Structure 1
Amino acid sequence: MTDINVRRINFGYFIRPASETGTGVPRVEPCLGYLVEHPDGLLLVDTGMGGDPDVDAHYRPHRIALPDALAVAGAQPDDIRHVVNCHLHFDHSGGNPSLPGRPIYTQRLELDIARTVEDHTLPWLIDSPGAVYVELDGEAEILPGVTIVPTPGHTVGHQSLVVRRGDGTVIVAGQSHDHAVGFTGDVLARRAEQDGAQEPLPFAPAWMERLLSFDPARVVFAHDNAVWTP
């Protein structure tokens, strides 16, 4: 599967306020998507930041529009054939309305919450004209060599994308972890438990076992430019 490439797409950045960072100071975070160049057509993981006056006042985003972000990778919106949102918050689904008619793969639970829970996301990003959802109930291989794996935590319907290549598996983990260091921490927590380390130990999500079973060579994230490697 060496012909399946995964390329980072830069949708800009936002400024997470001090009340959300746990450090007492604001933090500037990238907003990243990933373009999967598959023989069955281009697949885009996450589509950038939507917004409204309240969102813009709170996060002060610097947006790169979907066409401009894709152009850096030599693509345009009309080239996209498949969409995967790791979850449906505004900073991951902002470009969905610009991609009508494309199948948007999401966990059924995530879509239900986005439609019914106030403040989960911006409603007009969800059921925009031409939106076509493929609702999943768990793990699914959506294209040859491309598998969606549920990774709940940040939201209960969060999912990650596994891309199997001949030279190593790439996992697009989205916001399963805010940063690569968090992924490292969970890998080591699992290892410490397997090694019989004495309690107390940190808790690693049960789905970490499934992600690591793909023997990833690289794991990439939605809000961190760092890349995890084993």
Structure 2
Amino acid sequence: MADIAVRRVDLGYFVRPAAETGTGQCRVEPVLGYLIEHPGGGRVLVDTGMGRHPEVDAHYRPRRVPLAAALRTAGADLDDIDYVVNCHLHFDHCGGNPLLAGRPVFAQRAELALARGADHTLPELIDHPGARYEELDGEAEILPGVVILPTPGHTAGHQSVLVTRGDGTIVVAGQSHDNATLFTGDVLAQHSGVGHYPAWLHRILAFDPRQVVFAHDNAVWAPGTSQVSAP
């Protein structure tokens, strides 16, 4: 049987204002989804792009790649998607969900509760016509070799997807970290025992990941960049 494939889906970019970057400068960030093609279980799309709202557009100046076009570039169509996973339910990760109505959407119960509250996301992206949630309370294997793992921090219900292939595990980490450099820092802290790192990091590293990919960074983390012993 063929191995599980993971393909990046380019959904555009937005401009994060200086007040949100911590650097005093604005920052342009990609918006990336990931298409998981399982030879025995269908296609899973992790994140679906940016929702639309006048205030959102004025604040973040997004440049969207329509979901259908982005999927075609990755070798799929909207009708090919069997399952959706949102790493969390902010507007820039679930914007295309209404286009995939009827498909099971895997989300942590805690995240869905937040999204149905005030000021978490765009409400019309959550309980849209045809929305169908598979609510999770923790870790779950949704297909053989495809595991959803809670990785709270950015939001209380944030989750990542771990894909175990013949050549190693690929972690689709979403916005567990804003970029690969921050992930590297936490891995080094965990290895050295110096500093702080998320309590769930040991669970990801137990899968001995070959690559870790992110929602807002084109860079890919690989273990060869972080195997540093404590002094």
TM-score above 0.5, yes or no? yes
Q: Partner of 1:164: helix, strand, or coil?
A: strand
Structure-2-length-normalised TM-score = 0.95
Q: Which amino acid in structure 2 is aligned with residue 65 of structure 1? A: P
Offset at 1:73? 1.3
* Alignment-derived partner of residue 63 in structure 1: 64
Distance 2:121 2:2 in 1: 36
CA contact (8 A) 1:45 1:83 kept: yes
Paired residue secondary structure (1:31)? strand
Q: 2: distance between equivalents of 1:51 and 1:207?
A: 32
Partner of 1:130: 130
Aligned residue in 1 for 2:155: 155
Of residues 200, 206, 216, the one that matches 2:209 is: 216
- The two structures have a TM-score, normalised by structure 1, of 0.95
Asked if 1:225 is matched to 2:224, the reply is no
CA distance in 1, matches of 2:166, 2:71: 25
Partners of 1:170 and 1:217 within 8 A in 2: yes
2:165 aligns to what SS in structure 1?
coil
Q: Which residues of 2 match residues 33-72 of structure 1 at below 5 A?
A: 33-39=33-39, 40-72=41-73
Structure 2 SS opposite 1:228: coil
1:17-96 pair list within 5 angstroms: 17-39=17-39, 40-96=41-97
Offset, 1:3: 1.3
Aligned-residue RMSD, C-alpha: 0.8
Report the Cα offset of residue 206 of structure 1: 0.6
Consecutive unaligned residues in structure 1, runs of 5 or more: 194-200
* Residues matched between the structures, number: 222
Q: Is the 8 A contact 1:149 1:159 kept in 2?
A: yes
Taking only the aligned residue pairs, the percentage that are identical comes to: 69
Structure 2, gaps ≥5 residues long: 224-231
Are 2:7 and 1:14 equivalent residues in the alignment? Answer: no
- Aligned partner of 1:166 in structure 2 is 166
1:184 aligns with 2:175: no
